[in-house]
Chains A and B, each alone.
Chain A
Amino acid sequence: MPVLEKTKQALFLSGILLFASQTLYAGTFNAEIIAASLEPEEQGYLLNADINFKLSPTAIEAIEHSVSLFWIVQLKLYRPRSFFWDKKILDYSIRYRFRFHALLNMYQVENMTTGEIRRFFSLPVALKAMGRIGDVRIPTKHDENQSKVLLATLQVKFDREALPLPLRPVAYFDSHWDLSSQILEWLVQK
């Protein structure tokens, strides 16, 4: 299968190049995906990722004023095709809510997908905890497991539409609210 091998190599190389370029041109306050991996298992995949959330002063000020911020960690899996667009076979999201709990005087990270709530006394610790995604089991359908090589993309999206109403129009034009990450792509072999 020399053609497939070449394709895989090309995809991997392009993934590295894209990642490098994204890292180079990453904005000052963007979320940054430091590392990500998708380990195949019998019924799906185990997602591990290390994300560095860099908040702008405006975002920190908003949190200090009890404004809830929302991020979505979005994983997509594509089956590469030679003469057509890659076919999307998986779209999995984890939604996080980050807020300061005034009564408890703690930072609260809520995984809205699982309902898990964690509270931390310090902001960096809370952000670090939110950025560490460990062994998240992602179930897939049977036919999605047939492909040997898949293209995985991971992106952290800041949900501007979940901001309080008056902030939304501003958030689209203020770089302080550009808190999403670039898309990370890599090849997954089963």
Chain B
Amino acid sequence: MARSKVKIPISLLALILFGLVLLSLQLMSSATQESSRLSQMYSWLLLVNALGVLALLVLVGINSYALLRQLKKREAGSRLTTRMVTLFVLLTLIPTATVYYFSMQFLHKSIDSWFNVEIDRAMEDALELSQASLDDRMRWHLRQTQQMARNLKNKSQISIILDLERFRTELGASELALLSRRGRVIAFSSANPSEILPSIPVEQIWLQMRKTNDFVGLDTIRDDEWVIQAVVALKSDQDQYIQVIYPVPLRIADLADSVEFAFVRFQEMTFLRNSLKLSFSLVLSLVLLLSLMAAIWVAFLIIRDIVAPVKELVKGTQAVAEGNYEQPLPVMRQDDLGFLVKSFNEMMSRIAKSRDEAKKASQEVENQRAYLETVLSSLTSGVISFDAGFKIRTSNQAANVILHVQIRRFYGKTLFDLAREHSNLSELVLSIQQLLEKSDDVWQQSITVLGSKGRQELLCRGTVLYSPEGERVGGVVVIDDMTDLIQAQKNAAWGEVARRLAHEIKNPLTPIQLSAERLQHKLSSDLDEKKAAILERSTQTIVNQVDAMKKMVDEFSEYARAARQQIENVDLIALTKEVLALYTLQSAERFVVVFESPLPKIRADLVGLRQVIHNLIKNALEATANEEKITIKLHSIVEHNTNYVQFSIYDEGVGIKPEDMDKIFEPYVTTKEKGTGLGLAIVKKIVEEHGGSISIDREVKRGAGFILKFPAN
């Protein structure tokens, strides 16, 4: 299940943050008023705001650290973000710092202006005035009380108690009490009937009474109501005291309260002067820091939001540089940057499309090239292409086979480099080079090459390659090995000659022979002995020569005879031994047979194969003297993934001259004084009819060697 993430818009987040900051600051500002209920929360608000500043400081710190790391890693968009943040911080800091500095100045000066010596003295004077006024009143009430005490001194306790209410009324007091020592109430009268007990003088009053016999003081009772308390000794010997509570007029009490309140406030403010400065500075600094940090943090968020598409664009361009066009960039906004991202995506899509088309075209070209290569490789003609500098560019397998050279090794090199390593090809290479350089059109030339495998008749056709602009960009040469074709043509010609000889010559020979024998038979009796002897010699010569001619014609007819083969599995070792048995009677010690056992059988015509072995042994015997050895080897070999049975025969005779080697298998080519020159030609014909091959072993130093290969069954 895809995880969905609810993303709060940055503008909303910023608004909420600033709302919270403002609320917190407003609360703190309200809390600075003593009268406010929030004043109880002042310390907490201060702490919360300080923690807020700390939290924002940490956030700004984390953001700055992350930005520095991005900058160090040279991440996309980091430099732009740094520049924007720096600019924002500078733009915010400069006016804020200025306002802060002047606010602090103003604040300190304002607080200082609240206090001066005149106000201080005035406040003290006002208080002293209040105190003096109250002192006068207290002294007056004390005198009143003392006067009453003197009046009551000679009266009995009973009459005092009875007249207590009257005395209180006369004095205008709110309470009058007759007390014994230690505050025991003897009698009391109160203006407030609900009071059942008078106020008892405290220990301190009794202490003073001991010294001065009277006391007057200011006190508060019931809801901070100011009263003057006067205590006077009535009869010292009886330890009786009279306490009178006089109310302070409301107006005077209010004025005194007001003066005292103002004095206390002023005193307090004087004491708090430095603390006030510190406190206001603290609040102002918190306001500044909180606003500044919140602004910087929001700036980080906003700038990150602004830079995000730019970052994506940079990543996109990097991806494009790496060849990745597939990933479209997310369009995060609908403004100019969003439009830019959209355009970029469109551009990428077009590039990707063009690239795909180019790739497809390239693939097609590659397919064409591969097809061409396949065609070329399957051609039996060798093809070599050259660039404008006549350096070899490409070649096919057939070229390697025809020239017996791995041409791939010479790619990028000239034909001269090829000729340098393979001297037998120098004539061919030089001819091609000259033709390529000089000819402007298609050319053709037959060139004979004497290679390691013998003489080759090569037909070379070449043409120059031009660019569409008409510039010469290289050439191509097609080489065909015509050796086999020419050989086949020669063989066909000789076959035709043989057939004609058989037909045209053999037919008259018998009548010639018969006529000669008839002449001998008819005339010998009629002639004298001498003439008869001449006739006999002549007719005998004719008969002999006709026999020789017949034999020759038979051999030709044998050469030209169409193959009438009876194919069967032939054990070549057994056949060789069988044929050799005919010769071993004469010269058994001359033959050396080396064979591998078991040897695969071959599919062959037994008669034809026997003739091959006969011809080769006969040939070897004729080529060697009595003492010289004839070696026959039989082996199985593998060539081009095909199993062959190899029959080779070596003699120690005169050998074959190098100039005869290439035409030794042609009819009428013989190195012997006697012979028709058809023996080896017939051998070659029969071997090839069996799908085999015959070649001269050129590595033989003494005598001659022939190698025959037959496909194994």
Contact = CB atoms under 8 A, between A and B. Distances in A.
Interface of A: 61-62, 65-67, 101-105, 117-118, 120, 160-161, 164-170, 172
B36 to A, nearest CB: 9
Q: Which of B43, B127, B270, B276 has the most CB of A within 10 A?
A: B43
B377 interface: no
Contact of B220 (A117, A166, A167): A117
Nearest to B279: A166
A46 B649 CA distance: 144
Contacts of B42: 165, 168
Contact of A66 (B34, B202, B267): B267
Contacts of B43: 160-161, 168-169, 172
B267 A169 contact: no
Given A103-B256, A165-B34, 6 more contacts: A67-B271, A102-B264, A103-B218, A103-B260, A170-B278, A172-B43
B40 A161 contact: yes
Nearest to B257: A103
B234 interface: no
Contacts of A169: 43, 46, 278-279, 282
Given A166-B272, A166-B278, A118 B202 contact: yes
Q: Which of B202, B271, B279 has the most CB of A within 10 A?
A: B271
21 contacts: A65-B268, A65-B270, A66-B263, A66-B264, A101-B260, A102-B260, A102-B264, A103-B256, A103-B259, A103-B260, A105-B131, A118-B202, A120-B204, A161-B40, A164-B34, A165-B34, A165-B279, A166-B276, A167-B272, A168-B42, A169-B46
Interface string B278-313: 111010000000000000000000000000000000
A62 B130 CA distance: 23
Contact of B271 (A62, A168, A172): A62
Interface string B321-365: 000000000000000000000000000000000000000000000
A86 to B, nearest CB: 29
A13 B336 CA distance: 80
Contacts of B131: 103, 105
Contacts of A120: 204
A164 B268 CA distance: 9
Contacts of B130: 103
Q: Which of A120, A161, A165, A169 has the most CB of B within 10 A?
A: A165
A170 B263 CA distance: 24
Q: Which of B34, B204, B270 has the most CB of A within 10 A?
A: B204
Given A102-B127, A161-B43, A167 B275 contact: yes
A165 B31 contact: yes
Nearest to A125: B204
The secondary structure that dominates the B interface is: helix
Contacts of B275: 164, 166-167, 170
Interface in B224-281: 256, 259-260, 263-264, 267-268, 270-272, 275-276, 278-280
A62 B269 CA distance: 10
B268 A102 contact: no
Interface of B: 31-32, 34, 39-40, 42-43, 46, 127, 130-131, 134, 202, 204, 218, 220, 256, 259-260, 263-264, 267-268, 270-272, 275-276, 278-280, 282
Nearest to A61: B271
Contacts of B259: 103
B127 A103 contact: yes
A41 B381 CA distance: 133
A61 B272 CA distance: 11
A27 B318 CA distance: 68
Given A169-B43, A169-B279, A170-B278, A164 B272 contact: yes
The secondary structure that dominates the A interface is: mixed
Nearest to A67: B268
Contacts of A61: 271
A65 B202 CA distance: 27
Which 7 A-B pairs give the minimum distances between C-beta atoms? Answer: A65-B271, A166-B279, A166-B275, A66-B264, A103-B260, A65-B267, A66-B267
Nearest to A120: B204
Contacts of A67: 267-268, 271-272
Contacts of B270: 65
A166 B42 CA distance: 10
Contacts of A167: 272, 275
A179 B44 CA distance: 21
Contacts of B264: 66, 102
Nearest to A58: B271
A65 B120 CA distance: 12
A165 B268 CA distance: 11
Contacts of A118: 202
Nearest to B40: A161
A156 B295 CA distance: 45
Nearest to B226: A103
A78 B272 CA distance: 41
A12 B220 CA distance: 46
A169 B260 CA distance: 27
Contacts of A161: 40, 43
Given A65-B271, A103-B131, A117-B220, A165 B260 contact: no
Contacts of A172: 43
A102 B262 CA distance: 11
A120 B204 CA distance: 8
Nearest to A104: B218
A170 B272 CA distance: 11
A117 B40 CA distance: 25
Nearest to B260: A103
A65 B42 CA distance: 22
B650 to A, nearest CB: 117
Contacts of B202: 118
Contact of A102 (B39, B263, B282): B263
Nearest to A162: B40
B251 to A, nearest CB: 16
B390 to A, nearest CB: 97
Given A102-B263, A117-B220, A165 B271 contact: no
A160 B263 CA distance: 23
Nearest to B259: A103
A148 B259 CA distance: 56
Contacts of A165: 31-32, 34, 39, 42, 279
A54 B34 CA distance: 28
B30 to A, nearest CB: 11
A161 B42 CA distance: 9
A25 B240 CA distance: 53
A167 B282 CA distance: 12
A120 B43 CA distance: 33
B490 to A, nearest CB: 125
A118 B220 CA distance: 11
Contacts of B267: 65-67, 102
Nearest to A105: B131
B211 to A, nearest CB: 14
Contacts of B220: 117
A188 to B, nearest CB: 31
Q: Which of A120, A160, A167, A169 has the most CB of B within 10 A?
A: A169
Nearest to A62: B271
A173 to B, nearest CB: 11
Contacts of B40: 161
Nearest to A174: B275
A85 B218 CA distance: 52
Contacts of A160: 43
A133 B272 CA distance: 32
A32 to B, nearest CB: 25
Contacts of B271: 61-62, 65, 67
B191 to A, nearest CB: 22
A111 to B, nearest CB: 14
A65 B115 CA distance: 14
B371 to A, nearest CB: 91
B268 A66 contact: yes
